[in-house]
Structure formats: structure tokens, C-alpha cells
Amino acid sequence: MRQPYNYNHQVHQSQRSAFAALFLVLLPIFFPNLFAPLGRASPSLFSEWNAPKPRHLSLLEVALHWKTPIKQLFDLWSPLPNQGWKPCIDSADTPSLPERSQGYIQVFLDGGLNQQRMGICDAVAVAKILNATLVIPHLEVNPVWQDSSSFTDIFDVDHFINVLRDEVSIVKELPTEYSWSSREYYATGIRATRIKTAPVHASADWYLENVLPVMQSYGIAAISPFSHRLAFDKLPVEIQHLRCKVNFEALAFVPRIRLIGETLVNRLRDPSGKLQASGTAVLRERTDDTEKERAGKFVVLHLRFDKTLCRTWLLIQLAILVEAKLRNWP
């Protein structure tokens, strides 16, 4: 009695399988949009992606047909007229280095490279204000870029010290009796030699009243954090001149970075130039005088996109990020 039942069951199961296969074959014919590739504008039920629609077509068409007059092109690349600006490092005052230093100043710089560059300029200025010996600044690892490069990896230390030798006393590292003053030392507890309450854009008087006594008592003072911790206004003119001297003359990249920069500029000026690999595997641009005369002009556009520009809808994480920024940047 079970054999007919099993036979009929197998027949019905085969029929259902055949109808299912036929349905899958005919489905794309009657409903093509369901299986449309992602590159088309029509949405798919299997994807949330929608093809972008063209925007601002009228502006694009105008830009494509716009022709800049020759005179306007010439004026665009001509030097800017003199507006009375002059180099601030050309000071008439002769720099003087005090005979005796009040102690050592350490700074720990966070942020990106540009913020650290500004911090270096401020550190030299603070050392001048306090008549202190500056230790080569420590560059913290940036949490975004994860760059562990030190001052000596980026900047020419010998050039830095030599340019400022008549302005501020600078040492590459602390003497043995102060070798305990390190980043690890200040990260493990509250230390009397650490200044962590420096306000943003602090005045010169603030450093004389709060940092100088610590340095005179212990022989050293470490300031951390030190981003934007010196004011721009109401400072002596010679301090502002010193800032400019650090920024535009004392801070120079190491030869390896300068070589890469020169190579990039030469390649932008003459894309057809011949390249030759040097012994350090860095591409050098070899152009003679005639090629340099024909070198074209170029424009460099720095597009910076921060993580906060992306709309992630992670409201909790965004609130934590905003709170951290407000806490670290009062």
C-alpha cells in the first residue's frame, strides 16, 4: 500500500521542482528590474544603492565653454603688487644670548604637523621669554595619522640649533642629572615639574608668573599640552620677530624630504622630463637650463576631509567626540 503513495509523492515533487525552475527562468523576462546591474539608474530590490543623478549641468556646460582671455591669464600669473609687506626676520636689533640660563624647558607637542610647527615656534619664544634652555621638542604620535616621526626625522636639527644659536640656547637632549624627565615619567603620575594648566594663548606674563618659579626651583619645567599656548597679541616685537625667524628660517626639512619635494615640483613643472633613480631609490628630476626656462606653471589644491565631515549617524560616538574636543580645546 505504501508503494503507490511513494510513487505519487515523487511525481508531485518532480512537478513542483519543474514549476520552480520554469518560474526562475521566466522571472527576469517579466520583471527585468529585479536583476538589473548596479551600474544602472534603476534600483534593485537586492541593493540599497541608487545611481547618482547629474547636478548643476548648466554650470558645467558654462564652465566647459568658457574661454579665459589671454590678458587675464597673463595677469593671473604675474607677481602680486607690493603691499608694504617685508620680512619680519630682518630685524635691526642684534640678537643677544644671555650668559646664564634659568633652567631647561621641555614641551610635548600634539596635533598634526602644522600644529606642531606652530608649537615649535612658540616653544622657542617661551624659552626666550624665560631665559631658558630649550630641549628639542617632543612630537607626540598623532591619533589620526599614526605617525611616530620624531623632530630629527622631519627637521634638520643642526640647522635649527645653528640659526638660533645667538637667540636661544637649545640642546638635543637633557643632561644626565635630568634624564628622568621624560614623557613616560609624566604619564605615570602627578609631577611637580609638569605644567599642564597653561591656558590657550597665554601671555608672556603668565609664563613668568607660573613657569619660571618651577624652573628656578627644580631646574626644569615640562609643559604639556603645549598647542596654541602662547598669545599672538601684546608680545614684545623682538619675540614676534623670533617667531618668524623660527618659522621661515630655522625650521628646514631634512635633505631626504627636501629632495622628494623638489622632485615633485619638477615633475609638475615639466611632466615630460626624464627621471633617473638615484642611489637612494628616490627619483631625481634631470632638466637642463633650457627645460627649466620652458617649465610650465601649476596649481596645487590641498583637499582636506576630516572624519567629522562624514555623516555616519553614529550619534553616540559623535557626542563623545564633540565632548572630547570641548574638553581638550577650552
Same domain for 144 and 183? yes
Same domain for 225 and 160? yes
Count: domains in the chain: 3
What is the greatest pairwise CA distance in the chain? Answer: 118
Give the pLDDT of residue 46.
44
Q: Which grid cell is 187?
A: 604619564
Mean pLDDT of 257-268: 90
71 within a domain of the structure (yes/no) = no
Mean pLDDT of 154-179: 96
Return the half-sphere exposure (C-beta side, CA atoms, 13 A cut-off) of residue 276.
Answer: 4
Same domain for 209 and 136? yes
Same domain for 116 and 199? yes
Give the pLDDT of residue 150.
95
Give the pLDDT of residue 74.
73
Mean pLDDT of 20-26: 62
Mean pLDDT of 240-250: 94
Whether 41 shows a pLDDT value over 70: the answer reads no
Same domain for 247 and 131? yes
Give the pLDDT of residue 240.
92
Expressed as residue numbers, the domain containing 214 is 104-252
Same domain for 288 and 194? no
d(CA 250, CA 124) in angstroms, rounded, equals 11
Of 275 and 241, which is predicted with more confidence?
241
Same domain for 212 and 140? yes
Residues 45-54: pLDDT tens digits? Answer: 444 455 556 6
Of 309 and 233, which is predicted with more confidence?
233
Whether 11 shows a pLDDT value over 60: the answer reads no
Residue 144: how many CB atoms within 10 A of its CB? 9
Residues 176-233: pLDDT tens digits? Answer: 999 999 999 999 989 999 999 999 999 999 999 999 999 999 999 999 999 889 999 8
* 129: CATH: 3.40.50
120 within a domain of the structure (yes/no) = yes
229 within a domain of the structure (yes/no) = yes
277 within a domain of the structure (yes/no) = yes
Same domain for 282 and 221? no
Choose one of 234, 252, 270: the last residue of a domain: 252
Same domain for 278 and 217? no
For 207-240, letters b (16+ CB in 10 Å) and e give: beebbbebbeebbbbbbbbbbbbbbeeebeeebe
196 within a domain of the structure (yes/no) = yes
Residues 56-110: pLDDT tens digits? Answer: 677 677 776 777 777 777 777 777 777 777 776 666 666 778 778 999 999 999 8
Mean pLDDT of 137-165: 92
Give the pLDDT of residue 290.
46
170 within a domain of the structure (yes/no) = yes
Give the pLDDT of residue 98.
76
91 within a domain of the structure (yes/no) = no
Same domain for 238 and 120? yes
DSSP 232: S
Same domain for 129 and 222? yes
97 within a domain of the structure (yes/no) = no
Mean pLDDT of 286-307: 63
- Mean pLDDT over the full length of the chain: 78
Same domain for 28 and 126? no
- Write down how long the chain is: 330
Mean pLDDT of 139-165: 92
